[in-house]
Amino acid sequence: MATSGIEIQPSTDDSGVDPRTIEGKLAELERRKAESRAGGGEKAVARQRERGKLTAHERLEILFDDGTFEEIDALVTHRTSRFGLGKQRHPGDAMVTGHGEIDGRLTFAYAQDFTVLGGSLSEVAAEKVVKVQDLSMKVGAPIIALNDGGGARIQEGVASLRGYGDLFLRNTLASGVVPQIGVSMGPNAGGGVYSPAIMDFIFMVDGIGQMYITGPDVIRAVSGEEVTHEDLGGARTHASKSGVAHFVIGGEEATIETVRTLLSYLPATNMEDPPYLDLGDDPERRNDDFLNLVPVDSMQAYDVRDVIRGIVDNGEFLEVHAQWARNISVGFGRMGGHTVGLVGNAPDALAGVLDIDASRKAARFVRFCDCFNIPLVTLVDVPGFLPGTQQEYGGIITHGAKLLYAYAEATVPKISVTLRKAYGGAHIVMSSKYLGSDVNLAWPTAEIAVMGAEGAVNVIHRRAIAEADDVDSTRARLIAEFEAEFSNPYQAAQLGYVDDVVDPRDTRRRVITALRMLARKSESLPPKKHGNIPL
């Protein structure tokens, strides 16, 4: 065929590479990926750093093992042109999603990118999250949310609200199936707080993370109340007052490292056992400190965490909710290399009584452990439930029943050790034999009774005391007699409610032996859709 004689030169980009060649196409791909990694651009990233915050990609690099993170949907852009959004399209939008490995185990994650439109949730950002949520359920792997955004993207209207609903639905379906962890690394407002609220654990970066339904401006307009962002929804507020935050840690890197530590105790899914990790601590190790650690006098306080650290491998105890409801302590440790969930009454805070917050805290933890096949070890030293009108009006009956329900419902191995006091209904609630506990041990210092000796004598011998010539000496004698007969573990042991009274120094060995015996425990609940826990 004849030609015109005109030679047509292929167009080139700024680098001089022909875009029609494979080299040109790869250059275009890299340009688009680089644009995605740049988030909202240099100025937006600079503002993020001025706030003392890392970018979404930097956070994910710290979270995952080196070189294992694979991003998904890096080139997705939003579909809205209204309100000027047509000129603000960034590849990846305001969400970075993907998967990688943490300590060699598959994990999914998503991170809000505050440098893109304030990290607001758009329709497509929600679709990106939904994709990794669905994948985590399909393959059975934990999912982590690094939250840093201002809520729904207002310019998209109800479409962004629908996106939150899609997230909430999957959070609920995944509950008890795969571990879900939320991390507040900036503002979390409005609907943005409910996804982490459904998750298993919430981390907040001290001084940076914030969570609230309505901000200070709205509160001021509605009620006239003045409050700062930090006082309203800061990390310390939610760690000590509301109980919303399970962990509060200073610095983003330290927070992410603690997330990794938490995952090391957990299975990938409810169909697996937690990972085994031999720390080299002798299962037969005795602890002579226990002879003096817990005072024989039941009125003296001590730190139950010292007992916990004395029985777990190498003293390593990851406490959950350390700053909230301090009259009970919960967290994770290992015994003989296996993960256990530990619950202990704390006599150095409110004498270790059970109140509304302690009941809620422990019930939630017990149910999590039961979801993910983590045996429960309970250390009991409880004088009862906290009396008073504030507790009764606040619903202590219902909240206390949550803990009772949680222990009774749990089918994982359940072991309890009564260290000292175990009185009345609180004794029943704290993993008693009557609620299906598998192995119940007690120290010789244990006092298992309906109530303490003084209170019991005042009820049982009210008339004799009133008619006595010497009231004080009569009461003292009757109290001594009651203590001799009932303020010990032996009546419960005689009735089989305590399986054995043990030397405190042998506690670690006896618990590990019980865990090994129960390793193949299989127990099913009656067929039902689900129970109706008293909420």
Which amino acids are annotated catalytic?
A: 190-191, 425-426
Q: How far apart are CA 364 and CA 231, in angstroms?
A: 25
The answer to whether residues 343 and 431 touch, using CB atoms and an 8 Å cutoff, is yes
Q: Do 208 and 236 touch, CB atoms closer than 8 A?
A: no
- Tell me the C-alpha distance between 133 and 110, whole Å: 9
Structure tokens at 302: 């001590």
Distance CA 168, CA 174 (A): 10
For the chain, the distance separating the N- and C-terminal CA atoms, rounded to the nearest angstrom, is 84
Contacts of 207 (CB under 8 A, 6+ apart): 230, 234, 235, 250
> In the chain, what are the helix, strand and coil shares in percent, each to the nearest 5?
45, 20, 40
Q: Which long-range contacts (CB under 8 A, 24 or more apart) does 225-233 make?
A: 229/187, 233/188
Nearest to 129 by CA among 218, 192, 201, 42: 192
Burial class (CB in 10 A: 0-12, 13-18, 19+), 300: exposed
Distance from C-alpha of 149 to C-alpha of 184, rounded to nearest angstrom: 9
Q: Residue type at 344?
A: G
What are the residues whose beta carbons fall under 8 Å from the beta carbon of 16, sequence distance 6 or more? Answer: none
Cβ neighbours for 252, distance < 8 A, ≥ 6 positions apart: 53, 54, 59, 62, 185, 205, 208
Task: Count the neighbouring beta carbons within 10 Å of the beta carbon of residue 202.
Answer: 26
Element holding 400 (H helix, E strand):
helix 396-409
